[in-house]
Chain A
Amino acid sequence: MSATLLIEQLINGLQLGTMLFLMASGLTLVFGVMGLINLAHGSFYMVGAYVTALATASTGSFLIGLAAGTLAAAVAGGVVELLVIRRLYRRPHLDQVLATFALILIFSEGTRWLFGSSPLWLSPPEWLSGSVALPGGSRYPVYRLMIIAVGVLIAAGLYLLISHTRLGMRIRAGESDREMIGALGIDIQRLYTLVFALGAALAGLAGSLVGALQSVQVGMGEPVLILAFVVIVIGGIGSIKGALLGAVLVGVVDTLGRIFLPALFGHFMSPSEAAGVGTALAAMLIYILMAVILAFKPQGLFAAHD
């Protein structure tokens, strides 16, 4: 268990955390502002990845692909908000869960219908495919570092957007008192569509970025969606700060657990048993973390409001 491996895995954890933050910030924003629970958020992630893969393949430019993927997810989000989501704001959470579950079926099967079941492939562009030296002698892919950098930029951008712009002021006002901002003459419906599309764009960006690391396929958004839910539940639903902290926590704990738990059990079990128990426990680790946090703080670490 060398220090190099630890550093490498820590960066991997940060990179997963960054992706999770992009997913979770959209989810938590939509919940915080509109009080809406959106299971179909993972579908925007999938849309982002598919469009990026297709656009990159046809234009040859990863950057154009990235922009197209993010934009497509934003448009998909806006359209879904107009057609479906806006009928759900005043409905109970149960209706929201079911309707957005239905949206997942529609998006996933629709995508399978259009593009088939076999995955698409997207490779990172030449200029991002190198690696840099880590202290200790091993090397780390530039592309993954770039994902972390993008995540940090987005986090900073979101912070500025929400705390320093007129739109952000309206979003914050929408979180604390919907009736009042309506009374102030602000078009709430448009604000909601905008926030929803923004959340979808963030999910789409996450999908676009990760598409170059793994295969682009139907259902790819679901595991990430569930992790993102864990993140926002840990962080406190509605809190961007909580989403950031929760994402890093979940990313790092999950990554380190998968590497080190089997090794840990290897000290007092046979190798095959240790691999079994270690792997099973590692897969459960973040859910255990969530249960422990909620046992002490039922509203999450940074409870905004329920």
Chain B
Amino acid sequence: MTEHPHDTAAAPVGAPWLGRQGLVNIGLLALTLLAPLVAHLLGEAYYVNLATRIVLVAMAGVGLNLALGHGGMISFGHAAYFGVGGYVAGISAYHAFDGSLLMGLPGSDEMLAIWPVALLACGLLALAIGAVSLRTTGVYFIMITLAFAQMVYYFATSWPSYGGQDGLPIYLRNGLPLVDSQDPLTFFLVCFALLLLAMGLTSRLMGSRFGAALTMARLNETRLATAGISPYPIRLTAFVISAMITGLAGALYADLNGFVSPAMLSWHLSGELMVIVILGGVGRLFGPLAGAIVYVLMETLLGGLTEYWLFFLGLVLLGVVLFARQGVIGWLAGGEPHG
């Protein structure tokens, strides 16, 4: 875990609004917000939903970026939290729908009840997984996070009560007080607000003493220890918060699709989340958003052209890893990451 692609120097965490990178960031936000508004005015609900997808994938990436980019913890198992968040939404709606109890508790189709449970479930799961995984380093850490996620995946596929391999439908999108969550634009705005919240939280965290310690744990563990700070609890805390953000994105993603299935837990999704973070620019606050825009648009455009779009995605990804390691933001804005 000590390694990191861009460990050249401890770049200070500055205000993300300044300079060329700030312009790029504001442009990304404006694009993400305005495109669905325009689509809504044109009556194109499909594109509003597409934008919501981008926002939620970005939020999952923001979560992963905290562990991967800022913490240097190469988690290959973040699909576990994305999927568990999704299943919390799905299972809760399922019990609310047929009025049955789960371990003595009723289900709910209210997002405000579902979100805290999703956050708690993902937080506890990440606490357990992180506590074991963070005892190891390097390749072991990558493999163990992958293995734990597979454990959750196989559990979901072989547990028949909630659909097993077929997944679980959410017949009616879960509700929010005061607003109409069925309306695509309203749901987009809710997701967008939560994405901003997640990015704001990341920014606040990384600007705090905690963030400084996390950065130092990544760059130079010995120096952190010299300051009398043990890296393990710092990393574990970041890992748990990271998982909770990704899990919340998963809960919303299930609501967007009206469906949750083991595919949300698969190791392919963990890989895709990593791709999104790297594609956008690892360790940059707006990296996951840039990555999600590029990834989802590429999926939509290439997917419309050819059934074998993953083949071309593979080629693009290979090219990015081999030749353009700063990601989209690095390419647009230049400069050091972690800003």
Give residues in A with beta carbon < 8 Å to B: 31, 37, 84, 87, 91-95, 97-99, 101-106, 108-110, 112-113, 222, 226, 229-230, 232-233, 237, 275-276, 279-280, 282-284, 287-288, 290-291, 294-295, 298-300, 306
Q: 9 additional contacts, CB 8 Å, given A103-B314, A232-B143, A290-B147?
A: A93-B139, A93-B142, A98-B275, A98-B321, A103-B318, A112-B308, A283-B155, A287-B148, A290-B144
Inside 8 A of A31's CB, which chain B residues have their CB? 139
Question: Chain B: interface secondary structure?
Answer: helix
**Who on chain B is nearest to A92 by CB?**
B3
Q: 5 shortest A-B CB distances, which residue pairs?
A: A105-B314, A283-B154, A109-B311, A106-B314, A287-B151
Whether B157 sits at the interface, judged by CB under 8 Å, is: yes
Inside 8 A of A103's CB, which chain B residues have their CB? 314, 318
Q: How far is the CA of A288 from the CA of B139 in the complex (A)?
A: 19
Inside 8 A of A113's CB, which chain B residues have their CB? 308, 311
A selection of 18 A-B contacts at a CB cut-off of 8 Å is A99-B317, A99-B322, A101-B271, A101-B317, A102-B315, A102-B317, A103-B314, A103-B318, A108-B310, A226-B150, A276-B161, A280-B155, A280-B159, A284-B151, A287-B151, A298-B135, A299-B136, A306-B139
Q: Is the CB of A104 within 8 A of B314?
A: yes
Q: Is the CB of A294 within 8 A of B267?
A: no
Q: Is the CB of A94 within 8 A of B278?
A: yes
Q: How far is the CA of A84 from the CA of B139 in the complex (A)?
A: 20
Inside 8 A of A232's CB, which chain B residues have their CB? 143
Given contacts A103-B314, A226-B147, A290-B147, contact A280 B154 (CB under 8 A): yes
Out of B3, B150, B271, B315, which one reaches A93, CB within 8 Å?
Answer: B3
Q: How far is the CA of A92 from the CA of B76 in the complex (A)?
A: 15
Out of B3, B132, B318, B325, which one reaches A291, CB within 8 Å?
Answer: B132
Q: Is the CB of A106 within 8 A of B140?
A: no
Q: Is the CB of A279 within 8 A of B147?
A: no
Whether B146 sits at the interface, judged by CB under 8 Å, is: yes
Whether B158 sits at the interface, judged by CB under 8 Å, is: yes
Q: Is the CB of A95 within 8 A of B325?
A: yes
Inside 8 A of B309's CB, which chain A residues have their CB? 109
Q: How far is the CA of A93 from the CA of B275 in the complex (A)?
A: 14
Chain B residues 305 to 339 lying within 8 A of chain A, measured CB to CB, are: 308-311, 313-315, 317-318, 321-322, 325
Q: In the assembled complex, how far is the CB of residue A145 from the closest CB belonging to chain B, in whole angstroms?
A: 28
Out of B4, B144, B308, which one reaches A109, CB within 8 Å?
Answer: B308
Given contacts A94-B278, A95-B325, A105-B317, contact A37 B142 (CB under 8 A): yes
**Who on chain A is nearest to B279 by CB?**
A98
**Who on chain B is nearest to A287 by CB?**
B151
Inside 8 A of A233's CB, which chain B residues have their CB? 140, 143-144, 147
Q: In the assembled complex, how far is the CB of residue A102 from the closest CB belonging to chain B, in whole angstroms?
A: 4
Q: In the assembled complex, how far is the CB of residue B329 from the closest CB belonging to chain A, in whole angstroms?
A: 17
Q: Is the CB of B157 within 8 A of A283?
A: yes
Whether B200 sits at the interface, judged by CB under 8 Å, is: no
Q: Is the CB of A105 within 8 A of B311?
A: yes
Q: Is the CB of B159 within 8 A of A276?
A: yes
Taken residue by residue from 126 to 146, chain B's Cβ proximity to chain A (1 for < 8 Å, 0 otherwise) reads as 000000100111111011101
Given contacts A113-B311, A229-B143, A233-B144, contact A97 B76 (CB under 8 A): yes
Q: How far is the CA of A102 from the CA of B158 in the complex (A)?
A: 29
Out of A94, A283, A287, A294, which one reaches B74, CB within 8 Å?
Answer: A94
Q: Is the CB of A294 within 8 A of B318?
A: no
Chain B residues 1 to 48 lying within 8 A of chain A, measured CB to CB, are: 3-5
Q: Is the CB of A37 within 8 A of B139?
A: yes
Q: How many residues in B have their beta carbons less than 8 Å from beta carbons of A?
A: 46
- Number of inter-chain CB pairs below 8 Å: 137
Q: How far is the CA of A7 from the CA of B112 in the complex (A)?
A: 54
Q: How far is the CA of A37 from the CA of B278 in the complex (A)?
A: 18
Whether B274 sits at the interface, judged by CB under 8 Å, is: yes
Given contacts A84-B318, A276-B160, contact A98 B278 (CB under 8 A): yes
Chain B residues 265 to 294 lying within 8 A of chain A, measured CB to CB, are: 267, 271, 274-275, 278, 282
Q: Is the CB of A105 within 8 A of B313?
A: yes
**Who on chain B is nearest to A303 by CB?**
B140
**Who on chain B is nearest to A226 by CB?**
B150
Q: Is the CB of A101 within 8 A of B275?
A: yes
Given contacts A106-B315, A280-B158, A306-B139, contact A95 B321 (CB under 8 A): yes
Q: Is the CB of B146 within 8 A of A229?
A: yes
Q: How far is the CA of A144 from the CA of B135 in the complex (A)?
A: 39
Inside 8 A of B5's CB, which chain A residues have their CB? 91-92, 94-95
Q: In the assembled complex, how far is the CB of residue B127 from the closest CB belonging to chain A, in whole angstroms?
A: 14
Q: Is the CB of B150 within 8 A of A287?
A: yes
Inside 8 A of B136's CB, which chain A residues have their CB? 294, 298-299
Q: In the assembled complex, how far is the CB of residue B146 from the closest CB belonging to chain A, in whole angstroms?
A: 7
Inside 8 A of A37's CB, which chain B residues have their CB? 139, 142
**Who on chain B is nearest to A114 by CB?**
B308
Given contacts A279-B158, A298-B136, contact A105 B3 (CB under 8 A): no
Q: Is the CB of A109 within 8 A of B274?
A: no
Chain B residues 236 to 284 lying within 8 A of chain A, measured CB to CB, are: 267, 271, 274-275, 278, 282
Inside 8 A of B3's CB, which chain A residues have their CB? 92-94
Out of B148, B310, B318, which one reaches A99, CB within 8 Å?
Answer: B318
Inside 8 A of B137's CB, which chain A residues have their CB? 306
Q: In the assembled complex, how far is the CB of residue B316 from the closest CB belonging to chain A, in whole angstroms?
A: 8
Q: How far is the CA of A108 from the CA of B310 in the complex (A)?
A: 9
**Who on chain A is nearest to B136 by CB?**
A298
Out of B158, B274, B313, which one reaches A283, CB within 8 Å?
Answer: B158
Q: In the assembled complex, how far is the CB of residue A250 from the closest CB belonging to chain B, in whole angstroms?
A: 11
Q: How far is the CA of A222 from the CA of B313 in the complex (A)?
A: 18
Q: Is the CB of A287 within 8 A of B308?
A: no
Inside 8 A of B148's CB, which chain A residues have their CB? 287, 291
Inside 8 A of B308's CB, which chain A residues have their CB? 109-110, 112-113
Inside 8 A of A110's CB, which chain B residues have their CB? 308, 311
